[in-house]
Amino acid sequence: MSIIIISSDSTEKGEEIAHKTAQALDYACLGRELLPVVADQYGIPTDKLEWALEASPPSWGRSAGLQRRCLAYIQTTTLGELVKDNRVCHGLAAHLYVVGISHALRVRILADPAEQAREISKRGSVPLEKARRLMDRQRKLRQRWSLTHYQLNETDPSQYDLVISLSQINTDEAIKIIVQTAGYRRFAPMTYSLRCMEDAELACRVRAGLLETFPNVKVRAEGGTVIVETKGTRQNKLKKAAAIKEQVQNMEGVDYVEVHVKNGLFKKAP
C-alpha cells in the first residue's frame, strides 16, 4: 500500500524499471500514457503536454503561461491517481511535487554513463565525445527546468530516498532493491501521510481550476479548508477575492475557502 516514484537520467531505463517494478508488486504503472487523459479533461493537445514536460522553460510571455498550466494539469491528474495508492509512477515529474509524503518512495535511477554515451553516439551517428557533451547539456537543461518550475534540482541525489547506479547494478537487481525498500515499514501508509496526499491533490486541483483566469495563485489545503493567495491592487482586491471564492467553493472536497489578495503591483521604495 505505498507509492513508488521513479526518476531517471535515461527515459528508457526509467520506463523499463517502472513497468517491471509494478509487475513485481502487482501495482498499476503510471506514465506518459496518462497524458491523453489530461488532454481530454483540460482540452490541451497531447503534444503540448509532452512539450511542457521536456522543453526549456520560456522566461516570459504566453508560452511560459501555457507551460505552467500544462504542468499543473498533469500534476492534478497524476495526484488524482496517486491518492489511490499501489502505484508506480514515472515520466510525469511526480518526484518534484510529491514531496514530504512518507509513504511515497522516491527513486533516482542513474544509467551507466559509458553505455548511455554509446547509445546516443550510435543513435545520432555522432562521435562519443560529442555524445558526452550532449549528455552534459541535457543534465544542465533538466536542472534549469526543475528549478524553474518546482524550485528543486532533480539531478541532486539528496532529493531521493533511494539512488541506484546501473554502472554496477543491473536492471533486475535494481528492481529487487526497489521492491524490498518499498516493503519497509517506513514507507507504509499512515493516516497522516494519506491525509497529506489528499490535501496535495485538492490544492493542486483547485489551482488548476483557477490558473487560466488567475495565473498567479498559490493554493494550500488542509482537510477541506482551502487557502488561496494571489496578487492584486487595492482597487480590485475585494472583487478578485469574491470571484475566486465563488469559483472554488463549489469544487468537490472543498468545505471552506480563504482568499488572501496581496498588493503585488508596486513595491515600497527602500
Phi and psi, residue 106, nearest 5°:
-105, 120
- Which stretches does DSSP call E strand in 97-191? 104-110, 162-165
Residue 262: burial class (beta carbons within 10 Å; 0-12, 13-18, 19+): exposed
pTM of the model: 0.90
> Which stretch of 124-128, 141-145, 227-231 has the lowest confidence by average pLDDT?
124-128
Per DSSP, the three-state class of 20 is helix
In the chain, the domains with their CATH numbers are 3-187 (3.40.50.300), 213-263 (3.30.70)
Q: How far apart are CA 164 and CA 14, in angstroms?
A: 11
What is the three-class DSSP state of 239?
A: helix
Q: Residue 264's pLDDT is what?
A: 62
3-state SS class at 212: coil
Contact predicate 66/122, CB 8 Å: no
Per-residue pLDDT tens for 90-124?
999 999 999 999 999 999 999 998 888 888 888 88
pLDDT, averaged across the chain: 92
Residue with cell 481550476: 209
Mean pLDDT of 49-53: 96
Region 75-97: what's the mean pLDDT? 95
